[in-house]
Amino acid sequence: MNSLRLKRGMYTDHNCCAAGLLVWIFLVAPCSAASISLTGSLDPNNPDDVLLYAFTLSAQSTLTIQSYGYGGTSNAPGGRNAAGSIILAGGFDSYVSLFNGTGAAATFLDSNDDGVCPPGNAAPACHDSTLVMPSLAAGSYTLALSVFDNFSFAENFGSGTLGDGFIGLGDYFDAASGIVRTSNYVVDISAPSLVVATVPEPAAWPMAAGGLLALVLANVRWNRNGKRRLQ
């Protein structure tokens, strides 16, 4: 059985919210970003694992989704992904699907298996995904990243929703290279009107709250009568 899970890994959003002393507040606020770089791993013991990542476009834009996990970034602009990182080849043959909306009711829009090289790199085959959606309307969308052959039922049926699931035929073995690839993924999402709600993971909340408390305590001062006051 394949598994669906929301993105819980690392991402970098560029041209995004200001940092500094109020970073905890900005963590829960939406912010504009030209691109987002997602890096992480699917379940190495389950090639039918699926990464889901929801995002929003604030205005009509051309959306570009490019993976680099299979072939690396040697052919990417500057030899790096959108986060500025050099990515080595070795990950699985990726398959990206785009759904309109979020949650189980999100409807299938389009997908891509083998994309364009460059910016992808043939290592040995051009198996990274490139999905370009011109003039995509403002709204919320969900990216589904899976291993090749683990397509959505919605695509197989010609229409459907994210809740229909995936067919569960993924395999980390890559016939082009003759080896079992890693479960590592790297994918960039780019659009001029890309918006991300940067809500921290549950484990990050205690640290964020602790940081805010430290800021408050740092501003506690004693007045002349020996009473504390906030400045």
CB 55 within 8 A of CB 140: yes
Q: Which of 56, 68, 48, 39 is nearest to 169 (CA)?
A: 48
- Per-residue pLDDT, 116: 96
Based on the domain organization, do 150 and 187 belong to the same domain?
Answer: yes
User: What SS3 state is found at 211?
Assistant: helix
Angle (CA) 228 229 231, round 5°: 140
CA 220/CA 133 separation, integer angstroms = 52
Based on the domain organization, do 149 and 56 belong to the same domain?
Answer: yes
- Per-residue pLDDT, 7: 46
- The parent domain of residue 157 ranges over 3-18+29-199
**Per-residue pLDDT tens for 182-222?**
999 999 999 999 997 554 444 433 444 444 444 334 444 43
Name the token pair of 143: 């990216």
- Per-residue pLDDT, 33: 67
Based on the domain organization, do 139 and 217 belong to the same domain?
Answer: no
| Residue range 16-24: mean pLDDT, rounded | 34
Based on the domain organization, do 97 and 171 belong to the same domain?
Answer: yes
- Per-residue pLDDT, 170: 96
The whole-model pTM stands at 0.75
231 assigned to some structural domain: yes
| Residue range 73-94: mean pLDDT, rounded | 97
User: Which of 15-19, 37-41, 91-95, 171-175 comes out lowest in average pLDDT?
Assistant: 15-19
Based on the domain organization, do 59 and 112 belong to the same domain?
Answer: yes
Question: Residue 200: what are its φ and ψ, rounded to 5°?
Answer: -65, 155
- Per-residue pLDDT, 32: 58
CA 2/CA 226 separation, integer angstroms = 63
- Per-residue pLDDT, 18: 35
Does the pLDDT value for residue 4 go beyond 70?
no
23 assigned to some structural domain: no
CA 8/CA 75 separation, integer angstroms = 28
- Per-residue pLDDT, 175: 96
| Residue range 46-52: mean pLDDT, rounded | 97
pLDDT, mean over the chain: 81
Based on the domain organization, do 130 and 228 belong to the same domain?
Answer: no
Based on its alpha-carbon atoms, the radius of gyration of the chain, rounded to whole angstroms, reads: 21
Helix (H) or strand (E) holding 23: helix 23-26
Based on the domain organization, do 114 and 213 belong to the same domain?
Answer: no
β-bridge mates for residue 142, sequence order:
54, 99
Based on the domain organization, do 12 and 52 belong to the same domain?
Answer: yes
CB 93 within 8 A of CB 224: no
CB 183 within 8 A of CB 172: yes
Based on the domain organization, do 195 and 214 belong to the same domain?
Answer: no
CA 85/CA 93 separation, integer angstroms = 20
Based on the domain organization, do 143 and 64 belong to the same domain?
Answer: yes
The total of structural domains in the chain comes to 2
Based on the domain organization, do 187 and 205 belong to the same domain?
Answer: no
CA 99/CA 52 separation, integer angstroms = 10
